[in-house]
Structure 1
Amino acid sequence: MRHGMLLCCVLAFWPLVGFGESSGSEIAITDREAAPVELRIENRSVMTFRATLLGETPELRARRATAAIEDALQGRGELKVSIDPIQTSYIVLLGYSRAFIVTPQDVDPPGASVRVAAEQAADNLRRVVAESGEARNIRFLLMALGYSALATMIYLLLLRGVSVGRRRLSGRLPGLMSRHKQWLKLGHTPLFDVQYLYYLFGRLLWLIYWVVVFLLSYQWLSFVLSQFPFTRPWGESLNVHLLDLVRYLLDGMLGAMPGLAVALCIVLIARAFSSFARRLLQRLARPGTLGWLTGETLQPTTRLTSLAIWLFALVMAYPYLPGSGTEAFKGVSVLIGLMISLGASSVIGQAAAGLILTYSRTLRAGEFVRIGEHEGTVTEVGMFNTTIRTGLGEVLTLPNSMITGSVTKNYSRIVHGQGYVVDTVVTIGYDTPWRQVEAMLIEAARRTEGILEKPAPHVFQTALSDFYPEYRLVAQAIPSEPRPRAELLSVLHANIQDVFNEYGVQIMSPHYLADPHQPKWVPREQWYSAPARPPGGDDVVK
Structure 2
Amino acid sequence: MAFSALAEQSVEDNPQTLSLSDSPAELQIANRTIMVFRAVLMGEVPAVRVERADAAISEIMRDGGELQVTLQPIQKSFIVLLNGRRSFIVTPKDVDPLEQQSTEQTAKLAAERLRQVVEETHEGRTLSAMLSAVGYSLAATLLFVALLWSIHWLRRKLYQALPMLMQQKARDLKVGGAQILDLRFLYTLVNRLLDLLRWTLVLLLAYEWLSFVLSRFPYTRPWGERLNSYLFDVLEYVLQGIVRAVPGLLIAVLIFFIARGISAFAQRLLKRLAYQSHSVDWLNEETLQPTSRLTSLGIWLFALAMAYPYLPGAGTEAFKGLSVLIGLMVSLGASSLVGQAASGLILTYTRTLRNGEYVRIGEHEGTVTEMGMFTTRIRTGLGEVLTLPNSMITGTVTKNYSRAVQGTGYIVDTVVTIGYDTPWRQVEAMLIEAARRTDGIVSEPAPLVFQTSLSDFYPEYRLVAQAIFTLPRPRALLMSALHAHIQDVFNEYGVQIMSPHYLGDPLDAKVVAEENWYAAPAQRPATGEGAGAGDQSTNKS
Relative to the length of structure 2, the TM-score reads 0.91
- In the alignment, the residues of structure 2 paired with residue 244 and residue 263 of structure 1 have an alpha-carbon distance, to the nearest angstrom, of 28
Whether the 8 Å contact between 1:525 and 1:541 is mirrored in structure 2 is no
CA displacement, residues 12-50 of structure 1 (integer Å, 9 cap, x when unaligned): x6995588999xxxxxx9657531110011111011111
Q: Does 1:393 align with 2:383?
A: yes
Report the alpha carbon displacement of residue 331 of structure 1 after superposing the two structures with TM: 1.9
- In the alignment, the residues of structure 2 paired with residue 219 and residue 91 of structure 1 have an alpha-carbon distance, to the nearest angstrom, of 39
- In the alignment, the residues of structure 1 paired with residue 173 and residue 20 of structure 2 have an alpha-carbon distance, to the nearest angstrom, of 68
- In the alignment, the residues of structure 2 paired with residue 523 and residue 47 of structure 1 have an alpha-carbon distance, to the nearest angstrom, of 128
* Match in the other structure for 1:97: 85
Comparing 171-180 with 101-110, greater Cα deviation is found at 171-180
The secondary structure found in structure 1 opposite 2:473 is helix
Report the alpha carbon displacement of residue 399 of structure 1 after superposing the two structures with TM: 1.9
Q: What amino acid maps onto 2:478 in structure 1?
A: L
The secondary structure found in structure 1 opposite 2:254 is helix
* Match in the other structure for 2:534: none
Change (3 A) 1:40 1:494: same
- Report matched runs for 1:315-354 at 5 Å: 315-354=305-344
- Report matched runs for 1:455-534 at 5 Å: 455-481=445-471, 483-534=473-524
Within the candidate set 65, 72, 76, 1:88 is matched to: 76
* Match in the other structure for 2:192: 203
* Match in the other structure for 1:365: 355
CA displacement, residues 223-245 of structure 1 (integer Å, 9 cap, x when unaligned): 11111111111011000001101
- Report matched runs for 1:54-453 at 5 Å: 54-109=42-97, 112-186=101-175, 188-287=177-276, 288-453=278-443
Aligned length: 526
Comparing 53-62 with 368-377, greater Cα deviation is found at 368-377
The secondary structure found in structure 2 opposite 1:370 is strand
Report the alpha carbon displacement of residue 530 of structure 1 after superposing the two structures with TM: 3.3
The secondary structure found in structure 2 opposite 1:451 is coil
Change (3 A) 1:382 1:308: same
Q: What amino acid maps onto 2:68 in structure 1?
A: K
The secondary structure found in structure 2 opposite 1:85 is strand
Report the alpha carbon displacement of residue 368 of structure 1 after superposing the two structures with TM: 1.2
The secondary structure found in structure 1 opposite 2:420 is coil
Comparing 45-54 with 471-480, greater Cα deviation is found at 471-480
- In the alignment, the residues of structure 2 paired with residue 301 and residue 18 of structure 1 have an alpha-carbon distance, to the nearest angstrom, of 79
Whether the 8 Å contact between 1:377 and 1:482 is mirrored in structure 2 is no
Whether the 8 Å contact between 2:343 and 2:394 is mirrored in structure 1 is yes
The secondary structure found in structure 2 opposite 1:117 is helix
Report the alpha carbon displacement of residue 523 of structure 1 after superposing the two structures with TM: 3.9
Q: What amino acid maps onto 2:42 in structure 1?
A: L
Change (3 A) 1:447 1:157: closer
Report the alpha carbon displacement of residue 266 of structure 1 after superposing the two structures with TM: 1.2
Whether the 8 Å contact between 2:367 and 2:379 is mirrored in structure 1 is yes
Whether the 8 Å contact between 2:365 and 2:380 is mirrored in structure 1 is yes
Q: What amino acid maps onto 1:94 in structure 2?
A: L
The secondary structure found in structure 2 opposite 1:285 is helix
Whether the 8 Å contact between 2:4 and 2:77 is mirrored in structure 1 is no
Q: How many percent identity over aligned positions?
A: 62
Q: What amino acid maps onto 2:213 in structure 1?
A: V
Whether the 8 Å contact between 1:479 and 1:485 is mirrored in structure 2 is no
Within the candidate set 6, 22, 30, 1:34 is matched to: 22
Report the alpha carbon displacement of residue 475 of structure 1 after superposing the two structures with TM: 1.5
Whether the 8 Å contact between 1:30 and 1:53 is mirrored in structure 2 is no
Whether the 8 Å contact between 1:385 and 1:400 is mirrored in structure 2 is yes
* Match in the other structure for 1:4: none
Report the alpha carbon displacement of residue 307 of structure 1 after superposing the two structures with TM: 0.9
Comparing 376-385 with 355-364, greater Cα deviation is found at 376-385
Whether the 8 Å contact between 1:534 and 1:541 is mirrored in structure 2 is no
Whether the 8 Å contact between 1:429 and 1:467 is mirrored in structure 2 is yes
- In the alignment, the residues of structure 1 paired with residue 209 and residue 258 of structure 2 have an alpha-carbon distance, to the nearest angstrom, of 50
Q: RMSD of the TM alignment (CA)?
A: 2.5
- In the alignment, the residues of structure 1 paired with residue 83 and residue 65 of structure 2 have an alpha-carbon distance, to the nearest angstrom, of 9
- In the alignment, the residues of structure 1 paired with residue 496 and residue 9 of structure 2 have an alpha-carbon distance, to the nearest angstrom, of 133
- In the alignment, the residues of structure 2 paired with residue 18 and residue 314 of structure 1 have an alpha-carbon distance, to the nearest angstrom, of 60
Whether the 8 Å contact between 1:445 and 1:451 is mirrored in structure 2 is yes
- In the alignment, the residues of structure 2 paired with residue 187 and residue 90 of structure 1 have an alpha-carbon distance, to the nearest angstrom, of 83
Whether the 8 Å contact between 2:4 and 2:75 is mirrored in structure 1 is no
CA displacement, residues 53-100 of structure 1 (integer Å, 9 cap, x when unaligned): 111101111111111111111113322112222222222111211111
CA displacement, residues 320-345 of structure 1 (integer Å, 9 cap, x when unaligned): 11112222222222222222222333
Report the alpha carbon displacement of residue 51 of structure 1 after superposing the two structures with TM: 1.4
List gaps (5 residues or longer) in structure 2: 532-538
Comparing 377-386 with 519-528, greater Cα deviation is found at 519-528
- In the alignment, the residues of structure 1 paired with residue 147 and residue 521 of structure 2 have an alpha-carbon distance, to the nearest angstrom, of 107
Report the alpha carbon displacement of residue 518 of structure 1 after superposing the two structures with TM: 3.5
- In the alignment, the residues of structure 1 paired with residue 259 and residue 81 of structure 2 have an alpha-carbon distance, to the nearest angstrom, of 68
